A and B are shown apart, each in its own frame.
Chain A
């Protein structure tokens, strides 16, 4: 290819800032997990969200540069998937399932309770940037319906009362990290199946808490 890729700026870049060396190193390790660089676009987009709290134009430009495609091509991919949030998104993203099994067991009431308690309707974020609310399709927890996720960490067997408590807890306690076991204990009920052991890992923003570079280069480099 040789020549520089055409950089199509979709909107004026907001950040212009480049990623930290640490993030660039992570990006390099992610790309090494795929036979072709472009395949790393999706995990790199999550990395971009972790950098800026949502997917910014600057983030997409950085991803484009890393994998050697244009920002427009990156936008084409990002806009296909619902989890790459390009709009302002709260520190806590509350996703309530209103798909069939949750609907049958009171999921609509749980969703409404979350909307009313937070004052945030579907698809929006509060003024402060603390809470975003959405109703979502099935999140694979139908045996413990109704189900809710905060930053994709799951709570099963939620009631409207517990849902309101969850919102107040987020608003008042402002936990630094979101842990599925902790939330399940306080706000959950029946589960699809026994989760076996408690888990340490926690989410820190409105994107999935998963680091895909544990095995780069084989043993020992994992985090």
Chain B
């Protein structure tokens, strides 16, 4: 099966040196950045908007539309979100390590289009190697005159600072990231303003985009809006990177057009389930997304709309596949533990609720669950996200709180009997070791 490749084309064709400036330029690199500086900003924003390039950081919001919200106040800033920490997600790491110049070229165009003379690449602290690759590429770009003062011989100045995070998932939330960049605790800001494009870094207009989104920008301009849209599905244009992990034979990152069915993705692309086992369930879009099950979703196409209609999201593109040997209570517990651990503590429902969910799931997994426990869990979850619907109702400053409830929704909708089996059977039917006790 031949698939159109956009952002991973160079690393597939040139597996050993796609990250070098020489290879990048030899394959047409920086041509679009150069040409974009002759285009007007409106022209670029319009093209990206009509190409319907969707943000790849989780919310799938149109990048061009976001750029069009940029407030007139100056200076403006651009921030690349390379905080990639959603469990199951490892696509940005590959783009950072293997094709850093592609990111820089996208960043140049994005900065030009948004009148920013200073851009930041915020990379999670646990990614020193990707950060080194990016810093090296930034240094090369400075030396070549592609960054710094008067880039490409024009009078446009662009400084780029590579910033390393400190190990807090919440800094992936764009307003938390901005606080973190200001040297504050990485706590999300109250909304409104809803978009940092109005008030962001130092309260100035700021565009925050995901690594993959920015990497697509040069290609959107090079292909033109119509061709970019033509790559795949009419609504979800372009390609997207899926990070496939868990119980599949061929885990890895795959650049795919939208619209494949889950059956194709899990059985063809990812090589099927390990040991010939049965597929039990999968997370379609990162730890924050409600799970899918084969009986309902296997022949559904992977598009933004179809996924939303089925009560979940494409999110960060992280697909975690679980086979029949998986204890879903334990899997849900691991995910809830993540959110409890990463809650920044600003909002009571999230700060208090997530650890309660963790404690009660631990009790159930360890065989000390009581018959009422799952109702209590649902009640606590309802306190975090009223109605337990999708998309979630918000009681909190950011979406982390409601995300903690997704694994609970998944248990309720698909695996209620397994929860009951844990409670009635006095422990995990899969006979796993005890989970660590949680002390609040």
Give me the interface of A with B, judged by CB distance under 8 Å: 33-36, 38-43, 45-46, 67, 69, 76-77, 80-84, 95, 98-101, 103-105, 108, 136-145, 149, 152-154, 180, 190, 192-197, 199, 201, 203, 208-212, 214-215, 218-220, 222
Contacts and interface: CB of A to CB of B under 8 A. Distances in A.
B19 A196 contact: yes
B247 interface: yes
Given A77-B184, A193-B94, A212-B135, A140 B168 contact: no
B202 A36 contact: yes
Interface in B245-281: 245-247, 251-253
A214 B138 contact: yes
Interface stretch (B215-223, B331-339, B389-397): B331-339
A76 B185 contact: yes
A202 to B, nearest CB: 10
B168 A101 contact: no
Given A42-B165, A141-B90, A219 B247 contact: no
A32 B354 CA distance: 40
A103 B325 CA distance: 12
B183 interface: yes
A219 B139 CA distance: 7
B101 interface: no
Contacts of A203: 128
B132 A104 contact: no
A154 B129 contact: yes
Contacts of B138: 214-215
Interface in B289-342: 318, 320, 322, 326, 330-331, 334-335, 338, 341-342
B338 A138 contact: yes
B87 A104 contact: no
B20 to A, nearest CB: 9
A136 to B, nearest CB: 8
Interface stretch (B32-40, B140-148, B362-370, B373-381): B140-148
Given A39-B182, A108-B433, 7 more contacts: A38-B182, A41-B183, A69-B183, A76-B185, A154-B129, A193-B98, A196-B18
Contacts of B132: 199, 201, 209-210
A222 B136 CA distance: 9
B183 A197 contact: no
Interface residues of B, number: 80
Nearest to B11: A196
Given A138-B338, A140-B89, A209-B132, A42 B16 contact: no
A154 B160 CA distance: 26
B149 interface: yes
Nearest to B341: A137
Contacts of B186: 80-81
B154 to A, nearest CB: 16
Contacts of B159: 33
Contacts of B183: 36, 38-42, 67, 69, 77
Interface of B: 11, 15-19, 75, 84-90, 92-94, 97-98, 118, 124-129, 131-132, 135-136, 138-139, 142-143, 147-149, 159-169, 180-187, 202, 243-247, 251-253, 283, 287, 318, 320, 322, 326, 330-331, 334-335, 338, 341-342, 344, 433
Top 10 nearest A-B pairs (CB, nearest first) are A81-B166, A83-B167, A142-B245, A38-B183, A41-B183, A208-B128, A138-B87, A82-B167, A101-B245, A80-B185
Contacts of B342: 137
A95 B167 CA distance: 12
Contact of A45 (B128, B143, B166): B166
A138 B85 contact: yes
13 contacts: A38-B184, A42-B163, A42-B166, A42-B180, A80-B168, A80-B186, A83-B125, A103-B330, A104-B245, A136-B126, A140-B127, A196-B16, A218-B149
Contacts of B149: 218
B164 A215 contact: no
Contact of A145 (B16, B127, B143, B245): B245
A192 B163 contact: no
Contacts of B88: 100-101, 138, 142
B247 A104 contact: yes
Given A138-B89, A142-B90, A196-B15, A104 B320 contact: yes
B334 A100 contact: yes
A203 B344 CA distance: 29
Contacts of B326: 104
B164 A142 contact: no
Contacts of B164: 42-43, 46, 208, 210, 212
B265 to A, nearest CB: 14
A142 B87 contact: yes
B182 A36 contact: yes
A152 B15 contact: no
Contacts of B247: 104-105
A129 to B, nearest CB: 21
Given A100-B331, A215-B138, A219-B148, A192 B126 contact: no
A215 to B, nearest CB: 5
Contacts of A104: 245-247, 320, 322, 326, 331
Contacts of A152: 125-126, 128
B307 to A, nearest CB: 19
Residue with the greatest number of chain B CB neighbours at <10 A, chosen from A41, A101, A154, A196: A101
Interface centre among B118, B169, B180 (most CB of A within 10 A): B180
A43 B162 CA distance: 10
A192 B18 CA distance: 17
Contacts of A108: 433
Contact of A192 (B15, B181, B253): B253
A55 B342 CA distance: 21
